[in-house]
Structure 1
Amino acid sequence: MTSRKSETMASSIISGINIAMAELVDIWNSIGIVEEQRVERMLTVKKHIEDLLRDMITEEQALKHRIKSSIVVSQKQLDELYEEMSEEPYKLEEGQTILQIQRDLRHKVDALQKEKNDRLQELKTLQLEDDQLCVQLCATPYYVPSNTVPSHVQLKALREHVQELTAEKRSRLAVFTALRKGVVCLESEMGHDPETSLERDAASDDPDVFLLTHENIQALQLLVAQLKLKKENLISTRDKLKERATCLWNRLDCPEKDGGFPLDTQGTLTDDISRWQAEVHRLEALQKSRLEDVIEKARLELMDMWDKCLFGSTQRDSFQYYFCDVNYTEALLDAHDSELVKLRDYRDKARPLLDALEKWEKNWELFQDFERKASDPSRFSNRGGALLKETKERTKVQKMLPKLEEEMKGAVSAWQKTHDSEFLVRGHKLMDYIASQREEYKLLKDKEKNERLTKKAESSPFKTPTKRPLTNASGMATPNKIRKTPNQTVLRGNSTSVSSSNSGSSSGSSTYLSVPSSKPPTGPTKKNRILEPHQDLNLPGITYSDFTTELSRKASQEVILNSTVLLDTEKRN
């Protein structure tokens, strides 16, 4: 379509020139201009047209040259921008005119120049922020070569770097703020004035005093730890003063309310220590004037602590020299106080073992109670599930005792390794003490059993036993001969009483009870005898399972039931 318009326009120009020449010829004819003059005038017209066209051609050629030059310049600028921005070179479309190429290149150069400026501006902003963060955190700035246009990859990495530093700053700032608050709070609680530059900077309200570096945070953490340790020491000092004052109040019978001493105040730890220190000094001065009463009360405290620590006579004897001294002096009081401190320290260290032993003794007492209840036939008449509950509790206790003994055995071994000494209970090794309790209870059970058998033998009348024929399945009598066992004393009694003592089935006929003729051993008369420190225990190691096995042996192993054996007593009579 464009080609046709230009061709039509060219034809129109030629036609216009022809018409104009025709009009000129007509004018020349009417004027009567001769041929030579016509030719001259036509040459002038021709020259004029040629000059005009030549000028136009020159101008258009100049325009074409300018366009080409512009293309070269734009292409050069574009190549430089691509190189600076690390972009791939731009490829022109084929078949374009130079004017289209010029326009496209100009647009591309403008776009790249704008993108370059944007990148440089973003780089400047990010680098400024990065520099500030790196100064605060003492970090290394992200490196971007100077006098270069950053690539998209570099800008992305720089943005991520700034984000990471921002998050790190936020995290460190939270830690730093918490540490500064901790420092201020601890110093306020203790009444401690800042001494070092670090403490003064930590107590400052200026947030820019500290750089958020790892070193500064570690220094603050160390400062907080030191202040906490100092606070603990102050609390310990105050508590020791309070304990000392309380001890003196009790010894001197002058409670704090009589002295008007305020127990709870809102002051700092330093103020509290000063108050308690002054009170202790006052009480110690009062104590000097009442040494005899104070020492006697200290001795009562010692006896109480010996009992709580389960000390035997040997352990107590080491202090008997001071305990029996009647020369009441401050040195004697100091010796008593030092002994009390050692006993309290020992009790604190041995508390797990003492608590475990107390728990074992409670379960041991429950076990003995269950054993006594087991021999009471009236317990079978209990209703409401009491017997089932008792059985469950008994089983629980029986499982608990060996478990506790194993735990104590391991704890005693650890105690020996740690303290390089034996753990003693009333002067004896812990496991020997437990074994003695079992052996004592076994002897007590044996004595009670022998007493029952002796009482039964004394209350039952002696009769000559008669043989009764045994019947078989057909009802016929069958001979029954039982050889007499030597060295037996045969007691005849009622089968019901025998079955009660042996927990067997009862029958209506009378039976004879044979017991060993040797005298029954005498055992302890007290059910739960407490071992005194002066007793010497040389007992073999007895486990709980051995003890319960021995305890549950049937009486039939020592007593012979026989209805045909004659009484040795009757023979002797």
Structure 2
Amino acid sequence: MSSQGGKMKEHIVQCLDFAMGKLTKIWDDIGICQDQRKERAEVVLLHLKNLLEEMVKEEEGLKKNLLQNVETYGEELVTLHKELNIPSVEPKKTLTILQLEKDLRTRVDNLSKMKHERMKILKKLKETDQALCDALCTTPYYIPTGTVPSQEQIKTLEEHITTLTTEKERRATIFGTQKKSIVKMMEALDQLPSTDFERDIICEEDDTFLLSSENMKALKTLHEELEVRQQQNFSTANQLRERVTLLWDRLEVEGAERAKFLSEHAGFKPKTITALREEVTRLEELKLQNIQRFVEAMRREVETWWNKCYYSDEQRAKFKHYKNDNYSEELLEIHEKEVAKIKEYYEENKAMLDRVARREKLWEDMMEFERRAADPNRFTNRGGGLLKEEKDRKKLMKDLPKVEQELDEAIGQWEQENKKEFRLKGMRFMDYVTYQWEEYAKNKEMEKQNRHKRNAKIMEEEMHYGSKPTTPAKRRFLGTTPNKNTPNKQRRTELSIASSRTPNSTLGSRTPNRTRTGLRSRLNDMSRTPGAMTQSRIQTPQSVSRNHTTSVFASPFGPPTRPPRPVTGTKTPKQLRPTPQRMTRKALTDRNETQNPFSQTTMAKEVNDVSVESTGSYKDFANGLNPKSRPNCRSSVVPSSQGVTHLL
């Protein structure tokens, strides 16, 4: 520091010497005397002295100002730290006055800005908080006036405002919803606002309603009161309508009159309830005038509820007034009490009784399937009805045992909980189910026996009178229509007829051309060898051909009066190779005799059942076909006196 001052001093001296040298030269040139030169040198010295003093004063003033600023900034800094609730920081001791002043000034500026921002935020938050508190009628968040809020206070105030905003929205939503509901209920109840609070709700704008806690409680109370009143009116109106409907049913009032009254008195307004009460009063008066009809209607209702609850005969017999003919108001009341008692039992056990009713519905469906199965006309239905019926039947037979098992378990649990037995028609559930299945089995067995008896009776009649065709066969005289079959088809038909030649064979009417061809050939063969059927009688029903059936069996007779006409116009078929079937047929044909002609007829059923009529010998059988001895014979082929077959 001293070296720097010495240099400055030397520099000043040099400058002074230089200036004084120039001044002296100037003075010499001018010719100023020594006295004047001395005076002028003193003036120069005075100027220099004044200048230095002035400069010193200025620097001293600067120093003083800096020290004053340091003191001021320090005080402000302390205050800001307190207001902002920020811990103070001591400046470094090595700082000069200028550095200290600058540091303090900068910190004061920053804290002042922070204070300004906080106050600005606080003002905005307080305005919002005040508006919310005014709407909700609550106390604003308290922050002392004139103080700078801390960060924690600002954060707490923001949370408070968020809570109030949410609460206001919730209350506004509740108010809007309940206001609409209150308006509707008042309209339904024919009620006008009667208090200032009700008018504030109904007549004023939504924004003007104060969402205070007291108002919200009062709003809720009003809404609940209207709901109770509405529910009471609704219940009363429904009860009155049920009563009116019941009285209408018992009095057999026409539907047009009912519809007119109900359309004019819909809803549950007080005036509607008044009209319903008046109608009940009017109908009650009519009821007294028609007490017998009412009692009988009540008895039908009692019967309906008995059936719903599966009452047994013993339970029904306990109600002795059911057959009382002394019709009076007291008797009607007794029946009404009985209905109410059964209804109460039904409501208490509705879940269980509904499951029982479902099981009963499945049982009835099963019985319906049984009845359909016995109807042969169902096979003529089209559209896949049988397939759908079979699917439904299988599903029912799968569901019924499952439902019975589940219901048995549920009833067992119910009995444990209620400490009493659950009875259907006086029996426990499984006893009732067992009884139904036993009755079902008995009925099936009885139907089976009746069917066997009926079939045996029909068989006996056929043995005596012959079978009766159930459908008319297509009858044409032999040889009137050319056969369109080829020789090979004709031979196959003949072989099929020969292989199935037994009294049990039935020839279907579905192939009339083949049947006539085989029949003509068969008649020609049998007319020559009628004894061939003797061996065929020992064949079993399994030899019946299901592909070739007819309602007329081939009947052997004597030789025809004229040779048979050719079946077709085709050329003579080539010689067939002998086979075991052909050899058997030929052997049987050779053993036929013409002195035992017979005629035998049968009719194929829809299910290809076999109808058989046979006798001990062909002679007895032929004698039995005599029209005089059997006037009731239904054969379509009978022997004539000449031994020629005639088709009726």
Specify the TM-score bucket, using the shorter chain as the normaliser: 0.5 to 0.7
Match of 1:538 in 2: none
Match of 2:299 in 1: 299
SS at 1:263's partner residue?
helix
C-alpha distance in 2 between matches for 1:198 and 1:416? 56
C-alpha distance in 2 between matches for 1:329 and 1:262? 30
Relative contact order (alpha carbons < 8 A, sep ≥ 6): 1 or 2 greater? 1
Match of 1:62 in 2: 61
Equivalence map 1:78-227=2 (5 Å): 78-87=77-86, 98-99=97-98, 102-103=101-102, 105-134=104-133, 136-137=135-136, 148-192=147-191, 203=202, 205=204, 207=206, 209-213=209-213, 217=216, 220-221=219-220, 223-227=222-226
Match of 1:32 in 2: 33
Q: Which runs of 5+ in 2 are unaligned?
A: 461-502, 506-537, 543-648
Match of 1:282 in 2: 282
C-alpha distance in 2 between matches for 1:220 and 1:396? 58
Q: What TM-score comes out, normalization by structure 2 length? A: 0.58
Instruction: Decide whether the 8 Å contact of 2:171 with 2:211 is kept in 1.
Output: no
Match of 2:580 in 1: none
Instruction: Decide whether the 8 Å contact of 2:190 with 2:270 is kept in 1.
Output: yes
Residue identity over aligned pairs, in percent, reads 35
C-alpha distance in 1 between matches for 2:195 and 2:428? 55
Distance 1:386 1:183, change over 3 A: closer
Aligned-partner residue type, residue 435 of structure 1: T
Match of 2:535 in 1: none
Aligned-partner residue type, residue 306 of structure 1: W
Equivalence map 1:392-407=2 (5 Å): 392-407=391-406
Distance 1:280 1:10, change over 3 A: farther
State yes or no: 1:356 paired with 2:355. Answer: yes
SS at 2:81's partner residue?
helix
Instruction: Decide whether the 8 Å contact of 1:299 with 1:323 is kept in 2.
Output: no
Deviation at 1:119, TM superposition (A): 0.8
Distance 1:332 1:365, change over 3 A: closer
Distance 1:436 1:216, change over 3 A: farther
Match of 2:407 in 1: 408
Deviation at 1:324, TM superposition (A): 0.8
C-alpha distance in 2 between matches for 1:448 and 1:495? 27
Distance 1:9 1:193, change over 3 A: farther
Match of 1:437 in 2: 436
C-alpha distance in 2 between matches for 1:139 and 1:157? 16
Aligned-partner residue type, residue 320 of structure 2: Q
Instruction: Decide whether the 8 Å contact of 2:234 with 2:268 is kept in 1.
Output: no
Equivalence map 1:140-539=2 (5 Å): 148-192=147-191, 203=202, 205=204, 207=206, 209-213=209-213, 217=216, 220-221=219-220, 223-255=222-254, 257-258=256-257, 261=261, 263-265=263-265, 269-321=269-321, 323-326=323-326, 328-368=327-367, 389-413=388-412, 416=415, 422-450=421-449
Deviation at 1:392, TM superposition (A): 3.6
Match of 2:20 in 1: 18
Match of 2:49 in 1: 50
C-alpha deviations, 1:233-256, integer Å up to 9, x for none?
A: 221211111121122223334447
Deviation at 1:15, TM superposition (A): 7.3
C-alpha deviations, 1:419-464, integer Å up to 9, x for none?
A: 7765443444443322211011122233344556677889999xxx
Q: Which runs of 5+ in 1 are unaligned?
A: 462-493, 497-506, 512-573
Instruction: Decide whether the 8 Å contact of 2:129 with 2:140 is kept in 1.
Output: yes
Instruction: Decide whether the 8 Å contact of 1:249 with 1:256 is kept in 2.
Output: no
Out of 81-90 and 116-125, give the one that drifted further. Answer: 81-90
C-alpha deviations, 1:261-289, integer Å up to 9, x for none?
A: 45345775222111111111122233333
Deviation at 1:325, TM superposition (A): 3.8
Aligned length: 460
C-alpha distance in 1 between matches for 2:372 and 2:279? 57
Aligned-partner residue type, residue 122 of structure 1: I
Distance 1:41 1:459, change over 3 A: closer
Deviation at 1:400, TM superposition (A): 0.8
C-alpha deviations, 1:334-366, integer Å up to 9, x for none?
A: 333333333444445554444433432332244
Distance 1:258 1:211, change over 3 A: closer
Aligned-partner residue type, residue 282 of structure 2: R
C-alpha deviations, 1:475-495, integer Å up to 9, x for none?
A: xxxxxxxxxxxxxxxxxxx99
Out of 438-447 and 127-136, give the one that drifted further. Answer: 127-136
Aligned-partner residue type, residue 273 of structure 2: I
Aligned-partner residue type, residue 431 of structure 1: M
C-alpha distance in 1 between matches for 2:139 and 2:112? 31
Match of 2:496 in 1: none
Aligned-partner residue type, residue 189 of structure 1: A
SS at 2:149's partner residue?
coil
Match of 1:465 in 2: none
Aligned-partner residue type, residue 159 of structure 1: E
Distance 1:110 1:209, change over 3 A: same
Instruction: Decide whether the 8 Å contact of 1:191 with 1:268 is kept in 2.
Output: no
Distance 1:271 1:384, change over 3 A: closer
Distance 1:216 1:267, change over 3 A: same
C-alpha deviations, 1:161-194, integer Å up to 9, x for none?
A: 3234313321232123212322332232223466
C-alpha distance in 2 between matches for 1:385 and 1:46? 142
Instruction: Decide whether the 8 Å contact of 2:237 with 2:268 is kept in 1.
Output: no
Distance 1:370 1:338, change over 3 A: closer
Out of 374-383 and 9-18, give the one that drifted further. Answer: 374-383
